[in-house]
Homo-oligomer: A and B are copies of this chain.
Amino acid sequence: MVKTQQKIQIIPLGGLGEIGKNMTVVRYGDDIIVIDAGLMFPEDDMLGIDLVIPDISYLLENRDLVRGIILTHGHEDHIGALPYVLKQLSVPVYGTRLTLGILEGRLKENNVPLTNLISVKAGDQIEVGPFKIGFIRISHSIADAVALSIKTPVGTIVHTGDFKFDQTPVDGKVTDFHKLAELGDQGVLVMLADSTNAEHPGYTMSEKSVGVTFDEMFYNANGRIIIASFSSNVHRVQQAIDTACKYNRKVAVLGRSMINVVTISSELGYLNIPEGILIDIDQINNYPASGVVIITTGSQGEPMSALTRMAMSDHRKVDIVPGDTIIISATPIPGNEKLVSRTIDYLLRQGAEVLYERTSGIHVSGHASQEELKMMHNLIRPKFFIPVHGEYRHLVKHSKLAQELGMAKDHIFIAENGQVLEFTPEKGSVTGKVSSGIVLIDGLGVGDVGNIVLRDRRQLSQEGILIVVITMDKQGGCVVAGPDIVSRGFVYVRESEQLMDEAKNKVRQTLDKCELNNVTEWAMIKSSVRDTLGKYLYEKTRRRPMILPIIMEV
């Protein structure tokens, strides 16, 4: 018989100290639920890597205890790891309709069966093992996003998911403040809350303010209008469509993910598309420029996106022309600033008008600023607090906000992925660590690209490679052919013949020396070649290419 524990454990496996791959374990005795399972985009030094997901060794070690995965919303950093997780762990997945709709698309792409996906809606209460889970409507930059209340025998946990307090949401579905207040009244043991905008003072503006901006911009535009935004922001797309309707413009949608999201969300009823307003991209030239709006991907300057292709005159179906008004309805995610600037410059060079300045009201964030974060704290009034969904400085700032409201510093936990945070009704503490980390995905390979491969890619990217091939006689150990030298990414060979010839001489000298000193072990020969050649090349070029000696035996 399982002993009742008067404690719960909260174990983040991703999302702390980073923005991305959110995944949090909640454990009570022998029952585990997982909140979200997201991916992260690779850092700049993760060369050639497509995606990063959390290391779920802990869940695999305890696979018999996992009762379900609960999703807060459909953004990639909350659902993107599921195709990989569900291949290893067969558990029910709970999410709202739009969230599951988006997830299904991902699972299909990855040939994962669509079983055990359980649809819930805001206001629902379900039981998963010993956990009573409530889904609470909140606003975010994607529709159908929820916060979670998790009642356990020890106390209630509230996870805000990603949220903002939008008092005038585009779909009219206001945050369930009453439920949040009720939870605060009843008593909440631990709250985990979204720290993304913890550095931003004040309030985040309502999504509707962008609609007002669209209206002004549409009013002033004479030619075609092209709006680039995050495809997942259904409400932004809704406002673009509504404004197009108001100004009697047809709407064409461009970009694979934009088309996908528009399709799913309109099928599921999250996007209202008036009859006859949508046209195919091939039809845009049948209408006057002043009668067309194109909604497209590419707001982050992503190289393969529709907007970037158009900017580079590289899109099969759309050319940018003078008279076009382009609205970049997003701000660059940190790291993407140069990509976005580059796209803007290219669009300007094509003669288009480009509206991209944050101050012009073309974009609002989907995350709560400081006053909203404080409001959430004052509604929930948790005993203990774990700031989540942020890089370290965001978590520190969020912690400071909580302290401003009177929370004691030792009731706040700035945690790390893998840490075990244990809570009783009275006490909270860090009691240990579990396996955690990152898994790199490159092409079809999951986790096979590790530090060594990355280290090699880094050297190759900066310095290139020099391959030295020598054919040696099996018996006598002398050189039969070579050394031949081939390089890639090092120097432009035509101009460096002398350098290469001298390099060959250096190798010959080294081989002669080895023979003279009776060095026959290949590892030692290769090592000498690498050393001598490396020193010589650095002296001549101040560069350090990877040097790869290969010995063929005949």
Contacts and interface: CB of A to CB of B under 8 A. Distances in A.
14 contacts: A17-B345, A43-B338, A47-B461, A48-B543, A334-B341, A337-B337, A348-B392, A444-B541, A453-B464, A457-B462, A460-B489, A469-B550, A484-B552, A486-B550
A541 B345 contact: no
Given A443-B542, A445-B541, A489 B457 contact: yes
Contacts of A553: 481
Interface string A418-437: 00000000000000000000
Given A48-B464, A335-B337, A392-B348, A448 B492 contact: yes
A87 interface: no
A316 interface: no
A554 B453 contact: no
Contacts of A552: 469, 471, 481-482, 484, 552
Interface of A is mostly: mixed
A496 B448 CA distance: 8
Interface string A521-554: 0000000000000000000111100101010111
Nearest to A473: B554
A491 B449 contact: yes
Interface in A457-508: 457-458, 460-465, 467, 469, 471, 480-482, 484, 486, 488-492, 495-496
Contact of A492 (B452, B462, B489, B495): B452
A450 interface: yes
Nearest to A470: B552
Contacts of A449: 491-492
Contacts of A548: 467, 486, 488
Nearest to A467: B467
Contact of A444 (B359, B464, B481, B540): B540
Interface string A211-238: 0000000000000000000000000000
Interface string A1-45: 000000000000000010000000000000000000000000110
Contact of A345 (B391, B453, B486): B391
